[in-house]
Structures are given as C-alpha cells and as structure tokens.
Structure 1
C-alpha cells in the first residue's frame, strides 16, 4: 500500500500473471481455479463489450466477499487506503461446478460465478437472491499523468423492493437513493463515502478513490436536450433577461436566447454575464416553456449561489439561497407527460460578483434499469469492491467496520455541548464567552477557536498572533483550571508562501506546487498565495504533526478542527482543476487518489497524537472524510451550510445517510453557517424568524451524535440569539440541559458503537425494516433504540405530521400519552418543544443536571421504563478520557424489562475501571398506558434502589386506588 502508484502502473503493464496453472474444464464455459482455501479465479469466455477478462472472488471475512475484476490477464498489485483488514482463511469454504457456473458455498453466503460471462450472483441461506451483476463490468482506457489506467463501471441488479442508503453526506435532501444519483467529489458540504447500504441487508464497499458516480449513473443532460420554447412561444430556446434592479425587472440591460444554464465553476460567471449587468445586485430571469419526449418522473439538478426560484405551470417548485462564494445543490423531481408543454420561469439573483448557477435534467429511468444501480469511477486499474451480507443493517455496517476499522470512542466530554462562532477574534473574546456561559449556568464542555488566530500573513505557521492572543498557554490553562472547559482549535493543511513552515515543507518536497506556480491568491485582505501539503506522503504527514505538536498541542489543546480537508486548495473549482492542483501525489496520479485526501490528513494527526504516549483520546472534527475515517477519531460535519429552513431540513437526511455510511459520528453547524443579509441586521420580523430558526435547529441538534453550534454573524451564543425572557432562550436552555441529563444513554450508545459497531443516529428503516412505509422517511430518525426524533423545519409550524413505525407502541416524551404504531399522526409542536416519542419497552437511563460532564459523577441514575413490550438496555461506562477501554477497562450494567411480569431486572455489573462508582442510587420511573407521565425533573418515582453491582429484580406495579 505504501509503494508509489507510479510504480504500480508501470509494473501492472510490464508483467502478466502466470495463468498456466488454470485448469481448463470446458472451452465454451471458460476456465477457473481455486488457488488456495479462499480465492477463486475465473477467466470467462464471453468478453462483453469492454468487459473484464479475469475475475478474482475472495472470501475475505465472514459474510464478506471481495471481487476484483481485471481488464486483461494482468494482475495489478493490491493497494487500498480504506481497507485495513486482512483476509481470513475460511476452512468451511467449498466450490462446485454446476452447469455453466461455479458455486462458492460459505454459509450463510453463497456466490455463483458464470464461466461464460464472469457475472456474479449472491444468495443467503434463506435462498433469496440479494444482488446480481447484470450488464457486467466495463473498462474504458484512460490516461492519468501519462500512465495507462481505466474508467471502470460495475452494474448490479436487485430486488424490486430494494432501497439504498449511505454513500456519505450530500445536500440535495434525498434519502432513499433508489433511481437517484450520487456524485463522489469531496467538496464543502458534500462528503464522499463509497459504501452503499441496502434495506435488504447487504452492502457494497466500492474501493476506489477517483471521481465516481453511484446509483443512476446516466449523465445529466443540458436543458437544450428538452424541447424549449421562448417567451414568445418560438421553439428552440428559453428567453434570458438581465436587469440591474430586481424591484423593476422590466428595465432590462440585456436579453438573449439560452438553451444551457451552466455557470458551474470559478471564473465561469465572468464569461456568462454581459458587461452591463451587476451580478451583486441584479436579476436574471429565464422564461418560456419546455416539453419532454418521455412520460414519467424527470429530475432537474441545480447548483446555485444567491437566490433561485423555479415555477412550473405557475407552481413554485424550488426556492433556495446560498451565499455566493459557496454554492448549494438541489434536485427537483417532476412528473411530466410526453410532448406536453409546461410553462417555466426561473429567477436568479446571483447576490455576488462571482456566482454559480447550473440546471440539468434526466429523463425517467428506463424500464430495463428500474431494478439496477451502478458504480463508476474515472480512474482505476481494476474493479475492486466488497460485498457484505448481514442478518440486519447493523450487521452489514459491522462488516464495513471489520474491513475499514473500528470507530474509536470519543472522550466523554465530547458528547456535551460545544460552542463556536466564526470566529473569536481575541483571547479576551473567547474567555469572556466561556465566563458568560458559566455565569448564566448554561452547560458547556467545549469552546472552539476557529481560523485566523494567526498573524494575517502567516497562515500555516500555527503561531498565535501575539497582538490578539498574547498568552495562549495561560488562556488554555485558565479554560481548564477555572472554567473546566476543553478547547478545540482549527488547523488547516494550508501554507502561505514565504513563511518558515512553507519553506521547510517546500525543501522536503511535501507541498503541492500548482497553485503556487499559478500565483493564485486567496480572499484575505489583498490576497496571499498558498498551497496545501501532500497528505499521501507519510513523511509530510509526520512533519505536519510535528509542527502542530510543537506549536499547539504542547500548549494543552484538547481537540482538532481540520477545516478545508477535501482538500479545498481553491474553492469552487472543477474536479479537473482540483486534480491538477494535487498533481503529483506521493502515491502517483492524483486522479486515482483524489477523494482519499481527508482520510490521510486525519491519519497523520491521529497517529501523531497517539504516538505521543499521553493516552489522551484523539478527537478530530473534519469537514470531509472517506471510508475508514472512523478509525482515526474523526467526527465529520456538514460544512458551510446556509441558515435557511430548507437547509435545516436537508441536514436531517444528510446526517442519517452519513451515519448509515458506517461512520457513527456526525454533526452540523446548528443554525447554519452562511447567513442572509436580512438576518445580519434584521428588522423585527426577520429577527423573530431568525430566533425561531435557531430554536428549531437547536432542538434538532441536541439529538445528533455531537451537539455543536457554529456560524457567521449574528453571534451564536444562546444569550446573543435572544434575551433570557424569550421563548427561544428558554427552549435552547431546556434542550441543552436535557442533553446532559441524557448522557448516560448517549455515552452507552457510543460504547456500543465501539464494541458492537452500533450506529447512534439511525434511519427508521434500520429498526423497522418490516414496515415498508419507512423506506422513504428521511425527516425522522431514531437516536439509539428508544428515542424517535422529529425535527420541526417549517417557519411558524405549531403542528408536526409524523409517522409512528409499526410493530410497537409509542409514548409522547412530554406527556407519556400512548400511541399505536403503524400510522401517521399530527401532533403538537409548540415553539419551545420538538415532538419526541419513546418506543414501548424502552429503558432510558438519565443522569443529573450538570454544567459540564466532569462536574459530578452519576451517583444517582434515574431509569425510565416504558411498558407495553419487553425491553433491554446496557449501561456502558469507562474512564472517559483515555484509551484504557481498549484494554478492557470499562463496566457494563444490563437492564431488562419483562412485560408479562412487569419486572425490571438490573443485572450484575461486569468489568471495572479507574474511578468507577462502587454503588449508586437507582430511581425507577415506570410509564405505561394507564400511568402516563413525561420525562421531567419532577416525576413519580416508583422505586428507589441502592445498587452495589449485584443483580436484583424490581417489580413494577403501580398502586391502584
């Protein structure tokens, strides 16, 4: 894996694998060979157009098959950055030839390989076909850095009831990716993770790092591929008008015909805008009509910056905003009839000098592709993927982590509240903010110092500006000593030319040179020339850590914020430009390794801090990640999203799909990062909308894996959003305190994520897969096994329509009222409360109110038990700050509830750790249909028990009058 890819390329084309040992069984069937106890090689007869000539099928791990397809008989050396697990020999593995196929049996998974075509099919012991290659593999010759490689494609056929999730984090508010498209190009707000998870309990890990597309891989088409009509009805184009005063759009400065809206990347708008147009103030309008030659669901894909609205036949179907320097993404799905004309009007206010706007479309999915998905990558040497089967979606994710590494356990304080803003400009500002939190008794565990704490001209020095941060060592010590607060600091892989760190890295050949050669300046003051270090270079990673350790970690910093880790060397450039900026990498052509940069960047800091020997848990907040990032202590956040209701809603499905990609730790900028001008200096109505948006987002944010506030002006501290007499303040404080009460539950989920490969933020389909109604529900989720979270994402909404999954009953969080599952309900959603429900049979441990995690131990545990079904929960505890848990230093207390006898069993505690409480008080609150009550400070405690670690049973029967 550490060999240069350039050498791999040359070696791949210089030698041919010796295939003389392959046994010939029947010429018309092709040949096959089992070369050891776990690998089958097949050379099919039929070379489908552009298809592979040699197929390797390896039983890699229990219920995991690795498939590698080579374009010829050349076997290229293996090289993976994501997969760290070695193959395990399966002694129970058998093969048989039957008809024109080879069958591999490794119960419960069975694989069939066609000797004619090389196609594969997977079945389980239950006999159902999970997945099958239909159109086979496709190789198209390419060149990267003058070396040969291939664009590769692999198609899969699936069951008609299938649905697909995961694939990282994306901003188009799509949840079930069936018949949809996902593009893998690391970008601000878009995170590529090449792991697909099926509701039918299988997964595919696509082990490639190039630009890729997944799902419906048909290329989106320009608008001109529709029948277009201008504003006067003439066929051939739309009418495009420019006005410099949006209030008077009839005062045009330019009119033209347009059939392609494609202002996609940096610099494109300069050529697109007429000279007389003012993009910072003006309005662009597209009018006319369109017609399609197809009947069915059409998709319109948008990239936008500024304000964009789209009406079709007078109906508003798109209404978005994104700050001009950071374009957003959206998809509109429209059912259209063949040859029917639809009136269209699109309005775009660029809202900036450099702006972005694209609109493309796709016709309906063809009948022959209704039950297919595909992976395609632009640069590779072979097709390489892992098929993972499981009993449920959790076991499939466990297989993903067996391959790519366990998710490390975050420090316990990380599950408390994080306060951040863009940015604390001085040492005094930061300390004053923490002081105010403590004065107001608002719980807080982590304060974040964002970018630009260095001197203006010294980005990459990792030095604090002494004029604004005169005593960083003392500041950090005071945060720890006086305020009991951790501090996280922003570090970028970016260096300004001329500073000592740049000169050192340049001498050693650790920097990408193209951005410097192009003399591209960034956006600070007059602009400075910069570049990024090559994270694929092991020596450069070590050098970067040494710089951080010397300048920052030695001062006592607790956690790292790794911004722009895509790498965002220059924002809003095309993928081809990014590849050029990264060429060459230490591993070879950047085209092959493009999307893996954030993985290797995180690796360097994780390995560096663990190498210090201080045993403090590594915590990395990084704007991008890849398959395997979870093993490096990484939390991924959703980037510089906008402060809008539509963006808040999009974070729900984005966070769920990211969690279902196998990486359990996700967070977002609560309240959104980029802010409309109307909120920066708001009128009264805008001020109230801002407060309500922040409140609703805060309610949602309290139930995601990491609870974190961040954003541009206005300042994001609770007391800067609203006065303490305001409902917004009351609500945010309530959910902050509630988060701390729930930490015994949440930290136990984190322990389960490490020990059992669990997922904290869960799509409903994970726990209620028998209920097909949940397949497309991406605006609700489970936090752990018990809590159904239903964010409110519409302004002034005071009701919330939601779905209660079938197969169980549900209790209202605030009242305890019981509801049957399997139906939609409309429930109250007052300003200060987000609808929450608890599953029947749930056991929910809660702790005391705390100002910070380490303030007090949970010596009194309040356990809420919900009747109506059997249930169980295991309380996990450990030291909370170091890696002693990896060596078995932790404890577990099992709780089980039996509905038939109304009995709670508190099991025997197993394990121990330094600082473990030898005994504690357990307060039991029992809720059933006849005895409803909500989760609150003052409740009816049914039993109070002194627990010392021995098992005991607690009868739960309410007294009857």
Structure 2
C-alpha cells in the first residue's frame, strides 16, 4: 500500500487538450512521455543538463565513453504554465513543451539561449550489423546573429561554423569533437561516437548520427566561451600539466634512419648553440613492414637503443618515439591478439609489405588495427610498449594514425565487430580509447614521469590523457598554413587545449623541383620561417615533415638571413617559457585555454569570424604572416596519395634571387576595448582599428594587451638549463593587471598533491605600483630568494627596478 502511494505521489498528470501528459519527478530532474518518445532530463549540476530521448518502451543501456562526471543532486523548482513544464536550478531554466516536445534553455533572467526545433527529434530504424537500432537526428534553432565554434579540427579555413555542413568521421587531417560553443554563452555536447553529420542552415542546426539507441546530449551554461569550455572539462575530465621540457623546441623529420643520425642531430644542436628540448624517432625503427609497430628496435641501424636514449638524456634532451594503432602480421602483438579476435581487418597503412611507392599490392602488408575498445587489448598493447620501449627510458609517445588510417574504405568495414559493438557504432571514439589506454597504463605504472602523448587524432574527453594533438599530414603550402589557424582555434574551443602542427607542412616535395636541396629554395625558406613563427605561439613548437629536412643548419649558417630568423624565433619561444608554463597551469587549475580566438576575450563584432589572428594566453596577440611577401605563392596541393610520390625532385639547381632583407608590410586588426603595445617597438596603439605594420622576415606582428604582466626567462639551450632566479617582469601599463607565476618540479605528479608554488603579481595602474604578493606553496629545489628585474614598458623609455624577493609581499613603486 505504501509503495502504491509513493508511485502515485510521483505521478503528476496534466491535461493537454484531449490528451493527458504526465511526468515523473526524479532525483535529477524528470521523465516524460511525449508522443512516441521517452524523454528524460537530468541535471548534472546547476549549469549542466543532460537530455536523453528514445522511442517509447525501448530499453537500452549506455555508459558514456567520454563523460566522467557523476550527476549531482541539484535543487530544482518544477512548475507548469499551460503546455510548458519549467525546471529551474540556481543557474538556469529549462522549459519542456508537453505538446510539441520542444525543449528550450534560458537564463534565470529570461534570456533565451537555445531551443530545440519543434518535432526536431527523429528515430529511423536501422540494422547495425545485425543489431536493430536507429539513425538519430536532433534539430535546434539558433539566433540569426549567433556565432558558434568548435567541433574539433577542420581544414575548412574558416572559424565560424554557421552555414557549414560537416561530415564528422575521423581522418588524417580532420579531428572531430561533437562539442560546440556559442557567443550566447552556452556549450552543446552531442554524446555519440558513430559517423555524424553536423549541418547549420538558416532554419535549423542539427546533428544526425548513423547509429544511436538514444539521442543523448548535454547543454551547459557557461556564461561565455571560457565558462562553457570549463563546463565541458568538468563533464569529461580536466587537462593535466605537461612537463616543462615539452614546451621547448622539438626537431623531427620523416625519418631518422639510424641511431647515430638521431643522436647526431641533438649533438649538432648543442654544438651550434641553438636551443632544443626534444627529438622524435619516426617509424621503421622496428625493421620491415611485416614487423610494423613491433615496439622493438629490430632495425640493425639501431644496435643499442638503451645507449641511444642515455646519450640523448646526457645532452639534456628528451626523446619520444612513433607508435601506431596497428600491427604487422609478424609482430608478437599481432600473434597474441589475432586468436582473441582483437584485430580489425580493414585496409590501413602501410598497404604493402615492401617499401615502394606506389604500394605493390602483390605483396600486401597484412597490417591490421587493433581493437582499443577492448580492455584486454589495451593491456596487451601496454605490456609490449612497456617492455620494448618504456623500460628504455623513452620520454613520451608519438601515437601516429590514431584515428586510424582507413584506406580502401568499404561500407561493410563498419560492420566489423569491436568489443563495444559494430565499428560503425564507436568509430569516432577510436582515438580516445587508444590514447587513453596508453595514458592510463603509464600513469598506473609510474608517477615520476608525466604522461606526454603526441597524437594525430582526438575525441571529446581526450584532454584528460596528457595528449597534444597535431593537425596531421598537411600540405606544405600557404593555403595550408592559413587553414591551420582556424583549425587550431576551433580545436581549442572544443575544450581540448593542446594542439600543434607540422612546422613547414608535411608534404614538401614540390619545393624540391629544380633544387638539389629544397631547404635552399627561397620559396620554401619563406614558407618555413613564417610557419615556424606561427608554431612558436602554439602549445607545442615542433618542426616536422618529409621531402625536405628541417634542421636549422640545412637552411644556411649563422649570419645568414634565414638561419638567423629561425634561430631568433626559437630563442623567442624560450624567453616566453615562464609565461607559457604559467599559462599551462591556468589550463589545469582554472580550465583556461592557451590558443584563444579573439572572440573569447573581446566584445568586438569585427573579431567574431576573424581567423588570421588570435591570443596566446591572455596577454599576447599573434598576427602570423600567412601570405608570401618575397616569393611567388604557388598553389600546391598534396595528400597521402600524391604527397608520397618523390618523383618530382631532381638535382638540377635553379637560381632564384630573393632579397630577404627588404622591409614589407601587413595589415593587423587590434580589437577594441583596450590599448596595445607593439612587442618589438613598445609603441602604444589604441584598439578598435586596423593598422599597417612594417614587417621583416625575422619578425611577425606581436602585440601585448595593456594591463599585462609578462615574465621573461633567461637565454638557455634547454628548458631547465637555468633556474628562474632573475626573471624580467615586464609591465604593460594602461590598465590594472595580474599574473600568477607558477613553478613546480617540472616532471612528476607531485603538483597534484600541492607540491608547487605560485607568486601573484598585481599592477595598480593609477598608483604605478607593482605588488609581488606572498609566495604560496613550496616544492623541493624551490628558490627561496631570487631577484626580479621589473620593467615598465613605454616607447622610447625604460623604467626598471631590481627587486630582491624572499617570498614575502613586496610593493614596488615605479
């Protein structure tokens, strides 16, 4: 009797015309049946709402691969007015129209944020490799003037997602994350892993996924883009700290072919005095293609890999190494996984067992991806990685083809069975699972070395795994360089903060035409320098590509214009390390973002779709040079099919006279709402205007926002060579400012236990005083006493003061 009474007390009936509609209040929100659809609204907190829809009576279970947050009981006020049931939390209001089924979201003040389109949810019967399920679609209505961003990385060359149609299936140069943010201050996460089409049209904005037992999405009210990103990380995991050395300069190419060559590169950088923190060993250290990804040094050109790693470490550098998501038929991993059904039999790279181009299909490689959805397969993967490479002291992992390569695609490939169902059902989450498998196993094995993974693909939630995604095998062209800026910004606004590119572009064979050495071709030199300058202001500065070696000495020698421009850019990166590392802490501690679209920081209509400038941290505006100024901008196109064809190169030297010492110019827009300082000249300029900036080959336009406090580190050969015992602290006056300097042990997880220190600097512009506040926290090896050289920036004038600091508050009058 008590049980019946309890059920009745939870059941509230409303009349809707001639049809009765009822809802059931739950601990997290409510459940309701509308027409032929079961709808459940769950509050995961005051500002995060989950919506689940399914055909009435269709039982299913779903455990999210991305969401790690557990829903929390949230105080809700539920009321009804006419056909609308309203749920109010302390942060937002959700309205459910019981007649049309439309769900709308608004602020408590009544400002409308987002609405579903009436009759916007559809379920179409679909047979997924023998499992009866649905193709699902949900449509929304956006405001005409609203801008949206995110959805991972696309090579579209555009920032805004309005009027875009995007077929989201993971690829080499496209990394899809079904999360978007809006200028109206909300985020929307579509929790589905199958191939999905996003489409924005004037009448609706929709997600349509091939497979789904239910529609499952999350709405989050962030208040602004930063807040929406913070909510997404709260939902799917926080980004850990990377080691300090990962923020230095990285050298790579396709590929170093011997142990002596790899070690020799590091040695050469030390000899010429150009900073270097990392070197990368690409593929084939395992030998032939039948041994693909054996995770062992089976190539005779690498006779003593432990000595190789030790030699690199003894030069105060780090090494990461290429590992893949597939295995050749002669590897131990293949032989262990195949009998257990842990391999996916579809076409992947390499297609031939022979190292020839084009691939000789008469000798298929037999390489197959593994099933990372299977926890036992992930265990096997790590066991071999641990024994073959991690035990040698390798510092991190270059997880190539982590989407993975899917060549000679056949629709039936999607019918292949994984541990979690058809490959179609979980396809887009492949990178999350394979990267997560390595990260979780390494973290369980050791807390002494922070996980660092360089990966070619990503999915929602991957920020929690210590992974930095690069933009794939992009072409070496000016258009490709232009595409990288909006690609990186949209990726960053997808709540995954660490991203980079192959500096110079990957496929560069066209620049060898008529040149014995492509690095001496002025057309490539100009493109490479401009790409490097852009790369200096991304979360990882990494030079890599095929066809043309990218080491600095290939471009000339000290005293020559191009060499000096490269060296100057690398030195510049190192001078910003205290700023970059502290910004990384704000990512981990405060859910911030390093590469920031201007729309994130400025209420200026002109920056809503600006895809050629961005903020690096909260203080530095970067305006890369993305058009050729000294050489013809040849339109070049390449992909994995044409890019590997090396036949275009020849040894015939072609003279081309280019004067790289000439001054050029470019246009830069400075957002309104603040004034700006030219980084190179200290000239102060009002925002809200486009200016013409003189440029040279060794500089790109950089501007510092008024009120910024920027620390500058010492000149070093590697990130940890010198302690930060005499940092220059530059004040850019014109507004009040604050900056927190973060320091720790640089490469372990003790910071998670509070083993770190912060020093907060506060600038009072009216009083012209800088307060260096009490140091908070401590760590082994911390500087107890240090000096700061405080500089107030002004054009043609320099006001500076040396300050001795012992951890207690100091006020500096300037």
- Give me the TM-score of the superposition, normalised by structure 2: 0.91
* Maintained 8 Å contact 2:78/2:87: yes
Match of 1:950 among 801, 808, 813: 808
Cα drift, residue 876 of structure 1: 1.1
Paired residue for 2:375? 538
Aligned pairs for 1:765-844 (under 5 A) are 765-768=599-602, 770-796=603-629, 798-844=664-710
Cα separation, 2, equivalents of 1:810 and 1:755:
28
- Structure 1 residues 190, 141: CA separation in 2 closer, same or farther (over 3 Å shift)? same
Cα separation, 1, equivalents of 2:255 and 2:781:
37
Cα drift, residue 578 of structure 1: 4.8
Cα drift, residue 874 of structure 1: 0.9
* Maintained 8 Å contact 1:30/1:43: no
Aligned pairs for 1:445-460 (under 5 A) are 445-456=277-288, 457-460=290-293
Cα drift, residue 900 of structure 1: 1.1
Residues 1:579 and 2:414 aligned together: yes
* Maintained 8 Å contact 2:511/2:524: no
Match of 1:111 among 94, 106, 121: 94
Cα separation, 1, equivalents of 2:284 and 2:419:
29
- Structure 1 residues 571, 682: CA separation in 2 closer, same or farther (over 3 Å shift)? farther
* Maintained 8 Å contact 1:419/1:448: yes
Paired residue for 1:882? 748
Cα separation, 2, equivalents of 1:852 and 1:70:
55
Residues 1:472 and 2:305 aligned together: yes
Cα separation, 1, equivalents of 2:511 and 2:622:
30
Paired residue for 2:3? none
* Maintained 8 Å contact 2:249/2:542: yes
Number of residues paired by the alignment? Answer: 765
Cα separation, 2, equivalents of 1:515 and 1:764:
41
* Maintained 8 Å contact 1:42/1:118: no
- Structure 1 residues 820, 30: CA separation in 2 closer, same or farther (over 3 Å shift)? farther
* Maintained 8 Å contact 2:447/2:749: no
Aligned pairs for 1:201-600 (under 5 A) are 201-216=185-200, 369=203, 372-456=204-288, 457-481=290-314, 483-514=315-346, 521=352, 524-525=355-356, 526-568=363-405, 570-571=406-407, 573=409, 576=411, 578-580=413-415, 583-600=416-433
Cα drift, residue 115 of structure 1: 0.8
Paired residue for 1:671? 504
Match of 1:733 among 567, 573, 588: 567
Cα drift, residue 434 of structure 1: 0.7
Paired residue for 2:156? 172
Q: Secondary structure at the match of 1:942?
A: strand
Paired residue for 1:93? 76
Paired residue for 1:625? 458
- Structure 1 residues 628, 554: CA separation in 2 closer, same or farther (over 3 Å shift)? same
Q: Secondary structure at the match of 2:433?
A: helix
Cα drift, residue 75 of structure 1: 4.1
- Structure 1 residues 542, 731: CA separation in 2 closer, same or farther (over 3 Å shift)? same
Cα drift, residue 923 of structure 1: 0.5
RMSD between aligned alpha carbons? 2.0
Cα separation, 1, equivalents of 2:554 and 2:15:
77
Aligned pairs for 1:144-163 (under 5 A) are 144-163=128-147
Q: Secondary structure at the match of 1:133?
A: strand
- Structure 1 residues 34, 756: CA separation in 2 closer, same or farther (over 3 Å shift)? farther
Cα drift, residue 625 of structure 1: 0.7
What residue ranges of structure 1 are gaps of 5+ in the alignment?
1-17, 217-364, 934-939, 957-961
Paired residue for 2:637? none
Cα separation, 2, equivalents of 1:585 and 1:926:
60
Cα separation, 1, equivalents of 2:560 and 2:237:
46
Residues 1:121 and 2:104 aligned together: yes
- Structure 1 residues 677, 159: CA separation in 2 closer, same or farther (over 3 Å shift)? closer
* Maintained 8 Å contact 2:508/2:546: yes
* Maintained 8 Å contact 2:117/2:141: yes
Paired residue for 1:748? 582
- Structure 1 residues 705, 459: CA separation in 2 closer, same or farther (over 3 Å shift)? same
* Maintained 8 Å contact 2:507/2:545: yes
Aligned pairs for 1:631-642 (under 5 A) are 631-642=464-475
- Structure 1 residues 684, 210: CA separation in 2 closer, same or farther (over 3 Å shift)? closer
- Give me the TM-score of the superposition, normalised by structure 1: 0.77
Cα separation, 2, equivalents of 1:515 and 1:785:
44
Cα drift, residue 514 of structure 1: 4.8
Cα separation, 1, equivalents of 2:248 and 2:223:
33
Cα drift, residue 560 of structure 1: 0.1
